[in-house]
Structure 1
């Protein structure tokens, strides 16, 4: 019969053998997994940025065509020329500027004029007709000049006051719209964003790139707010920083003519789905630029209105897109995490 010590020894051996037969699950290397995810996210969230402009005015409060100057503080006074002609429609004129329309027409229609000439011919003869025609032309000239003057005053009053409208328009596109990324990259490297002409070209050409790829639009978000010019710089910078914070790095930037570029290589990902383009614009308008946007057609109208604004209305413009390279795009999780407020187009 086994003593107690032997029994205890045999029991211990049996227990050890049983434990060794049990497979213990391996704990994954969470540090390596986290590093892989972070590397992918950084590659996917790289972005491009270009733009320029200034809110500074000259001492007279108006922006002339004499050129831009730099003060000792580094601020720039914007200078603009005014070459905006109205569009004409038959005998009346429609003046369209920044959503406000001014209409002027002739005070005399053709029928009334010929009837008056006939009466004058009967009662006063040829001298009366000559006097009538002279008076008619003087009245027409004065009326036309007054209407032109009213339009000009309203236009300059909106442009040169202390109200600025800051607008933001963001569009999400399917990842297959790689022409958008390559087009914006080429555009940002080509234009001189330190000049007003280059800044306007950047705005118009980026809008054209988006319009030419409208079949890839999926989501959007927009905002437009009028603000006093003293607070405009702070508001604009705040919106810009908010968008830039969504990027891990700016692999391409062209701000006021200063170009910086990094080489980014990242593998293609089957789960990649989206590209996001942001337009941030500060203009001289006195009221918000956008109404309710729900459909692709609404979005096209908003983009066209931005591209068609008078050149001297543009204070600042900034273009941000993510990812910057056509080899990258955002995954669905990255998209809903960083762009939670975007609304699907209907």
Structure 2
């Protein structure tokens, strides 16, 4: 009886050990598959990011504004005086006309009068034109100073989807972000202009676009900008290249080429000192091109904050059609 009980116990223990030995490899295989899937998803959703600037008013901007105002203050206009010698009249005691006016004096007087009034008219016209130009320049400068000094900003967002065959875009934006000094005004402006040039040079690959521009008060500007930034960054599994305030971080991701790859998406978030929207909704290629050129041509003092995002960042990586329509549902096909 004791032997039977012992044999039964050994059989039970052996069965439990066998079951455990079978289940453990299954658990390890599942974890491995999950890691591989996450790695592939991260590689497919790699993203690049460069940003810098602030909505805070710096003393440098104030000094620029004041110096600009003083340099454009109206100057004293020098008065021009025109002197005209009186035409001498000669009287001859023996040969006078019946009216008492010497021969030829009347024509000379009329000619000099016309010449005098003609020159005076030209001088008056030039003075009035100079005053008008000075007034217009002063008005433009005052309007510019008001925009730079008030508490209203404009936040603009432009998104461009390009076909996957535009792989040079990823490489050029990566190189640009690696060398850009986003901690300075000049570096930030260069980043904006050069990234726009990259897009304009590859306009034949544009497929979809999205644009929004709205004015906003100072106390809401920072929150609005960060909200738009987080919305776009949340679409990335990881940022494989980051340049924030001149601090560069880079991760290496092996992204195998995918035959189903379709799109590359570039996003520009721009905070400026304008007190009005810079463009309307983007529906056409021409509208997108105009909006990009408007951002690139703005005065240096107006650019306050900038963030450039592009996905995927890896050179041999791009979004599939399903990923694109899932993450970028608001983008409109350009016509």
TM-score (norm 1): 0.71
Match of 2:62 in 1: 63
Match of 1:165 in 2: 154
CA contact (8 A) 1:168 1:280 kept: yes
CA contact (8 A) 2:268 2:309 kept: yes
CA distance in 1, matches of 2:190, 2:229: 20
Match of 2:106 in 1: none
More helix by share: 2
CA contact (8 A) 1:121 1:128 kept: no
Match of 2:300 in 1: 311
CA distance in 2, matches of 1:307, 1:81: 24
Match of 2:320 in 1: 331
1:173-322 residue pairs with structure 2 within 5 A? 173-322=162-311
- Assess, with a 3 A threshold, how the Cα gap between structure 1 residues 121 and 151 changes in structure 2: closer, same or farther: farther
What is the aligned counterpart of 1:139 among 116, 124, 128? Answer: 128
What is the aligned counterpart of 2:144 among 139, 155, 158? Answer: 155
CA distance in 2, matches of 1:174, 1:198: 29
CA displacement at 1:130 relative to structure 2: 4.9
Match of 2:44 in 1: 44
- Assess, with a 3 A threshold, how the Cα gap between structure 1 residues 80 and 248 changes in structure 2: closer, same or farther: farther
- Assess, with a 3 A threshold, how the Cα gap between structure 1 residues 242 and 321 changes in structure 2: closer, same or farther: same
CA distance in 2, matches of 1:293, 1:304: 14
CA displacement at 1:170 relative to structure 2: 0.8
CA distance in 2, matches of 1:121, 1:210: 68
SS in 1 for 2:62: coil
CA distance in 2, matches of 1:274, 1:136: 60
Which stretch has the larger CA shift, 122-131 or 227-236? 122-131
CA displacement at 1:274 relative to structure 2: 1.2
CA contact (8 A) 1:81 1:312 kept: no
CA distance in 2, matches of 1:58, 1:31: 52
Structure 2 runs not aligned, ≥5 long: 1-25, 70-108
CA contact (8 A) 1:170 1:220 kept: yes
Deviations 1:95-129 (CA, angstroms, capped at 9, x unpaired): xxxxxxxxxxxxxxxxxxxxxxxxx9658365555
Query: Which has the larger Rg?
Result: 2
User: RMSD of the TM alignment (CA)?
Assistant: 2.6
Deviations 1:155-202 (CA, angstroms, capped at 9, x unpaired): 222232211000111111111111000000000011211111111110
CA displacement at 1:283 relative to structure 2: 0.8
- Assess, with a 3 A threshold, how the Cα gap between structure 1 residues 320 and 226 changes in structure 2: closer, same or farther: same
CA contact (8 A) 2:214 2:277 kept: yes
Deviations 1:12-64 (CA, angstroms, capped at 9, x unpaired): xxxxxxxxxxxxxxx9x76655443332111111111012111111369x533
